[in-house]
Structure 1
Amino acid sequence: MSDPTGDRAGSYPTALGASSRETITLLGQDLARDVMGNVGFGELAFWLATQRRPEPGEVRVFEAVLAALADHGFTPTAIVTRLTYLSAPDSVQGALAAGLLGGGSRFLGVTEDCGRFLHDVIEGIEGIDGLDAPAESLDGAAFWDGVALDVVRRQREAGAFVPGLGHHVHKDGDPRTPRLFEIAREEGQFGPHLALFEAIGRVHPEVLGKRLPLNGAGVCGAALADLSLPMELLRGFALLARTAGLIGQLAEEIRHPVANEVFLSVDLHNRPVAPDPLPHHT
């Protein structure tokens, strides 16, 4: 029988955490001496995902995104977390997991959807019809307005929504959006994804005939994309932020429980109706 601590024929390289009897290393740093007490959690999360230590301006934008997505009140993710805790108070991990599993196309997933959408447009920018602006004008509002008009028209013709456009509550403007634009500009992190998203906000009424707000989840996706974070992980960062919010929901549920009232409000008001069978196909 082989010794699990002895030499192995193969190896599993990692630049992340590794342990010996004396030390723990993380990202090439001594965890206890160099990281603990010296690196904030937001900075560390960015560093873990990119394996490069972020600049202070990148950290500020990244942490602003985490703050923007942490908690939105009694959303389905928060309610299911509280209800799961009501059902299984011995399983905090189950309650948190239940809430995170609800991070999909309507809640939290918009961050990923918008970031990917903008990224795909920018990747194919040379193929957009009717745009012959010189390269030096790529930062200009007129250029991005032209790109945005083309994109919104294409989405409308396809009968598809523009990710990040519209909000069910903040119909007159999501307060997170201009603030994140402002922070990104202050820190020199306002890149093409944010520029295109901002332009969509300016020009979409010309195509849609009405003005919709640029929502916070969408602007977060644009900001994360401008930080060059992996597209495949954008929803992961939204879930990272929401984990903190769900812990807050559980902490409040313990002190001031409402989950049982939510449960009873449904259970005591159910109304029996006749079965509505699905069509039977032969």
Structure 2
Amino acid sequence: MERPATGRPPQYPPSYPTSLGTSDASTITLLGHDLAGELMGKVGFGELALWLVTQRRPEPGEVRVFEAVLVALADHGFTPTAIAARLTYLSAPDSVQGALAAGLLGGGSRFLGVTEDCGAFLHEVVTRARGTAARRRRRHGLGRAGAGDGAGGPVAAAARPGTRAPRPQGPGPRTPVLLGIAEENGLKGPHLRLFEAVGRVHPEVLGRTLPLNGAGVCGAALADLGLPIGLLRGFALLARAAGLLGHLAEEQRSPLGMDVYLSVDRNARYVAPPGD
């Protein structure tokens, strides 16, 4: 019999290990706890989401920062993701799941994806700086480098075309609030400190001020919580799912989708292709 790609012999009966949840006819177990008896009514949704990803029960301060991020990213009004959800619901009112999915699928490099891009940029710089500092300490016995040291180099590199990095478009009221919450809970780590340093050196490196906005600070805060960098966009989508559900509820109460569609349809005009 041919062995599977792992090289291990097949098991009979097959075994599919998971550290998340299982169930049988009478019980549901989640994270090693009885769902009904130990978790429901005792664990908040934000706490549970963190627990599911990290496989450890988070501290109260971590939950507070995480839930502040979720609130910060939940809704920004009539963004393309919200419009996509409403128009999909207009087209298929029998498919709430399709409308919700349409909005989530629009989370990319311009909307929602900025959180992941900023977190990944900061994490790369922090990781590289840690490696450099460790090598220097081994060679020369130097002390630990400051969190904001060397921010100018990464900012200059990030200014090159095609580089993904914090590129805010305006000041963000969420930024000082989230920084303050992280500080209060002892969770203002290297990513948030570097984020602040980037804001300080932007003017001198680029010749203009680029205020760092809320999507970026959310990425920095999530990175400081130790969450997987490749999942940061997933947390932004988790937050936005609540906002999209709100838009769909409002669309049911006070429909706007048809107005949006008719506005485009009745103002469309034919333009001959170039060269005709």
TM-score after normalising by structure 2:
0.89
Q: C-alpha offsets along residues 145-191 of structure 1, whole Å, 9 cap, x if unaligned?
A: x32111112223x3355623322xxx2x2000111100000000100
How much is the aligned-residue C-alpha RMSD, in angstroms? 2.0
Q: Distance in 1 between matches of 2:244 and 2:235?
A: 14
Extract unaligned runs of 5+ from structure 2.
1-10
CA distance in 2, matches of 1:193, 1:269: 47
CA distance in 1 between counterparts of 2:256 and 2:93 reads 14
Distance 2:108 2:119 in 1: 14
Residues 27 and 34, structure 2, Cα contact 8 Å, conserved in 1: yes
Once the two structures are TM-superposed, the CA of residue 204 in structure 1 deviates from its matched residue by 0.6
For residues 39 and 110 of structure 1, the distance between their equivalents in structure 2, rounded to whole angstroms, comes to 30
Tell me if the contact between 2:117 and 2:164 (Cα under 8 Å) persists in the aligned partners: no
The one of 250, 253, 276 equivalent to 1:255 is 253
Residue identity matched to 1:10: P
Aligned pairs for 1:43-122 (under 5 A) are 43-122=47-126
Distance 1:162 1:94, change over 3 A: closer
Match of 2:46 in 1: 42
Code of the aligned partner of 2:165: P
Cα deviation digits, residues 34-65 of structure 1 (max 9, x gap): 11000000000000011100000000000000
CA distance in 2, matches of 1:191, 1:277: 56
After TM superposition, the structure 1 = structure 2 runs for residues 1-282 of structure 1, keeping only pairs within 5 Å, are 8-125=12-129, 126-127=131-132, 134-139=142-147, 144=148, 146-156=149-159, 158-160=160-162, 163-167=165-169, 171=170, 173-276=171-274
Contact 2:158 2:165 in 1 (8 A): no
Q: Percent of aligned positions with the same letter in both sequences?
A: 65
Contact 1:66–1:238 (8 Å) recurs in 2: yes
TM-score, scaled to structure 1: 0.87
SS of 1:73's equivalent?
coil
Q: How many residues align?
A: 260
3-state SS in 2 of match to 1:66:
helix
Check the 8 A contact 1:181/1:194 in 2, yes or no.
yes
Cα separation, partners in 2 of 1:256 and 1:277, compared to 1, 3 Å: farther
Report the Cα offset of residue 21 of structure 1. 2.0
Distance 1:165 1:29 in 2: 43
Long gaps (5+) in structure 1:
1-6
Distance in 2, matches of 1:97 and 1:234, equals 18
Does the 8 A contact of 1:164 with 1:219 survive in 2? Answer: no
AA at the equivalent of 1:243:
A
Q: Distance in 2 between matches of 1:197 and 1:227?
A: 15
Q: Which amino acid aligns with 1:154?
A: A
Counterpart CA distance in 2 for 1:224 and 1:159 is 26
2:23 maps to a residue whose letter is S
Q: How many Å apart are 1:277 and its aligned residue?
A: 7.4
- Distance in 2 of aligned mates of 1:151 and 1:228: 21
